[in-house]
Amino acid sequence: MNNKIQFPEIFLWGTAASAYQIEGAWNVDGKGESVWDRYVRLPDRILNGDTGDIACDHYHRMPADVALMKDLGIPCYGFSISWTRILPNGHGAVNPNGLDFYNRLVDTLLEAGIVPKATLHHWDFPQALQEKGGWPNRDSADWFADYAQIVFEHLADRVHTWDTINEPWVVAFLGYGAGVHAPGICDATKAYQAAHHLLLAHGKAVQRYRQGGYQGEIGLRLNLNHLIPASDNEEDLAATQRVYDESHSFFLDPVFKGCYPEAFLEWLGPHRPHIEPGDIESIHNSADYLGINHYNTDRVHFEIFGGWLKARLTPFSAPSWGTTQMGWGINPAGLKAEVLNIKENYDNPKVYLAENGCAMPDIPDEKGFVADYERINYLRAHLIALHEAMQDGANVQGYFVWSILDNFEWERGYSKRFGLVRVEPITLKRTPKQSAYWYRDVISENGITL
């Protein structure tokens, strides 16, 4: 009997975080305002009125955080870059202090033997550019490409793996559609136009990277949660297809197949985005790899009052698994299904499982230590499912736990904790949880003992 699953010899193990969620220092050293800096100040948008003003204060504690990652045996760290630290107004004048911070971060990681993986944009869009229309303004694609080029010129000699944009679906549909994320707009037409421009921005940034002749790889990072029709009836199946098209095909098809899902664009009617000649060519073949963020599975029901998709989602958990503290269904087989779907329908691209993890109740003992066996069970089961997909031929080359630190969970503030490392409120003291030691062992064995 085989009692151990083994990952390939070359497999990138890591953890991830994002600038707004951990850095703090929101107005320090010349940083400009982002839409999240603005949004958190609006009344009743964020649970308990929390903000990312201080967050984990990673901006000031970066060397100690990198040292902690080294102690925990983490080989690769995926971080995001704050656009307005580099360009306070989104374009134009560069802030040398901002570049300096990321230069130091990259150097500190390399000195610690940790591979840096950078994301250019994780939702903290410049407020100055929001005032010019934000992502629904077509110019946003060039603003982003110009910003990307500046970052490449300063960091691409040492950073060799680049995600352009994290979860464009979230930016477009939670930021401009549902209005529950910054900039807090509810407008379906703007949401789909933003979605197209996010893809165009990605495509243009990739062109700059390739023209620059840098040594490395660049890709897009999508949130691909798993969907199951609530029944076999035609209406539930069609609703599932619409939700799938909005979250999957809308982003995957242009990048990997060079087209948008036409039936879905027709369904959108007046909300259909304006696409100019040449746009699709800029987006097609623009990913050296696909970053997949995966957390949960939902059942999809047809629902006449279910917004423009006419759909309602309910969490699905596999038997004997509950839900996470987010109320998300736990279904490790959903991860396997998503990864195999990419293999089968998108020509088996290189994949990084770029985010996977869970918020759990996390009760600390008197020393601040959290014995988070629920998180370990979740991570372990998802890694086993990922390994099964790889055994079935999926080209997965790395896995990243979200997140290294407990941090600012967007509209839920600090009420939800995803970290391998606990961050104490107020003192911000870091204490690795049981899961951090468990993950260290998985990495050092490059596998899991069953």
Residues designated catalytic = 167, 355
CB of 335 to ligand GCO, least distance (A): 14
Per-residue tokens: 347: 């020509």
Q: Is the N-terminal amide bond of 403 cis, ω within 30° of 0?
A: yes
What gap in Å lies between CA 17 and CA 361, rounded to an integer?
20
Question: Which of 323-337 are b and which e, b meaning 16 or more Cβ less than 10 Å from the residue's Cβ?
Answer: ebbbebbbbbebbbb
What gap in Å lies between CA 376 and CA 364, rounded to an integer?
16
CB of 418 to ligand GCO, least distance (A): 6
User: Cα 387 to the chain's mean position, in Å?
Assistant: 21
Instruction: Decide whether 19 or 230 has the Cβ nearer to ligand GCO.
Output: 19
Instruction: Decide whether 149 or 435 has the Cβ nearer to ligand GCO.
Output: 435
Minimal CB distance residue for ligand GCO: 167
Beta carbons within 8 Å of 426's beta carbon, 6+ residues apart:
none
CB of 12 to ligand GCO, least distance (A): 18
Q: Which string of DSSP letters, residue by residue, matches 206-241?
A: HHHHHHTT-SSEEEEEEE--EEEESSSSHHHHHHHH
CB of 189 to ligand GCO, least distance (A): 24
- Per DSSP, 170 falls in state I
Smallest Cα–Cα separation from 226: which of 297, 176, 307, 163? 297
Instruction: Decide whether 79 or 267 has the Cβ nearer to ligand GCO.
Output: 79
CB of 293 to ligand GCO, least distance (A): 5
CB of 402 to ligand GCO, least distance (A): 5
What gap in Å lies between CA 116 and CA 103, rounded to an integer?
11
Instruction: Decide whether 53 or 411 has the Cβ nearer to ligand GCO.
Output: 411
Instruction: Decide whether 136 or 168 has the Cβ nearer to ligand GCO.
Output: 168
Applying CB under 6 A, the residues found at the interface with ligand GCO are 18, 21, 166-167, 223, 293, 355, 402, 409, 418
Instruction: Decide whether 241 or 407 has the Cβ nearer to ligand GCO.
Output: 407
What Rg value do the Cα atoms of the chain yield, rounded?
Answer: 21
**CB count in 10 Å sphere of residue 61:** 18
